A = this chain, B = another copy of it.
Amino acid sequence: MADADIQPIHTVARLLGLRASAIRYYEERGLVEPALRLAGRRWYSPEQVRRLAIIQYWQAYGLMSLEEIADVLAGPKATRGWAEIIEQRITALDEQLREIAGARDHLRHVLSHHENSAPDGCEHYEARLFNGLQARNRTP
């Protein structure tokens, strides 16, 4: 019954909505390995499929780079900064949530107040636009 769960690359790819080439690429980058190779061909166990799903999930919308995912998946044994990476990510995601919500409201505003004009040249923008700026310019 255990062997029935093991799947070839295209099956996994189709299940996850990935291309086989992407899976091979993840392997090349050290993120995942097939459970087994038969005559050179890759076979994946449910465990690896889950791992691929995690990779895909974390990587969606560019939330984490493959390298960061690799670090996190390697776990505490391999990476000193494991928890730190995740904490940083959480902070970054919170920031990102605020930014995106702001951008969305901003677009809603454009839609409701500027139906007959290009969206630039409106004073309503100023505040939001340049608030963001001040935040960004603290660093450089």
Contacts and interface: CB of A to CB of B under 8 A. Distances in A.
Interface in A121-135: 121, 125-126, 128-130, 132-133
**This chain's copy number in the assembly:** 2
Interface string A24-58: 00000000000000000000000100110110011
A58 to B, nearest CB: 7
Interface residues of A, number: 56
A46 to B, nearest CB: 10
Interface string A56-72: 01101111000000001
26 contacts: A15-B133, A17-B133, A17-B136, A50-B120, A50-B121, A53-B129, A53-B133, A54-B119, A60-B99, A61-B96, A61-B100, A73-B118, A73-B119, A73-B120, A74-B118, A75-B119, A76-B116, A76-B117, A83-B111, A90-B108, A90-B111, A93-B104, A97-B97, A97-B100, A97-B104, A100-B100
Interface of A: 15-17, 47, 50-51, 53-54, 57-58, 60-63, 72-77, 83, 86-87, 89-90, 93-94, 96-97, 99-101, 103-104, 106-108, 110-111, 115-121, 125-126, 128-130, 132-133, 136-137, 140
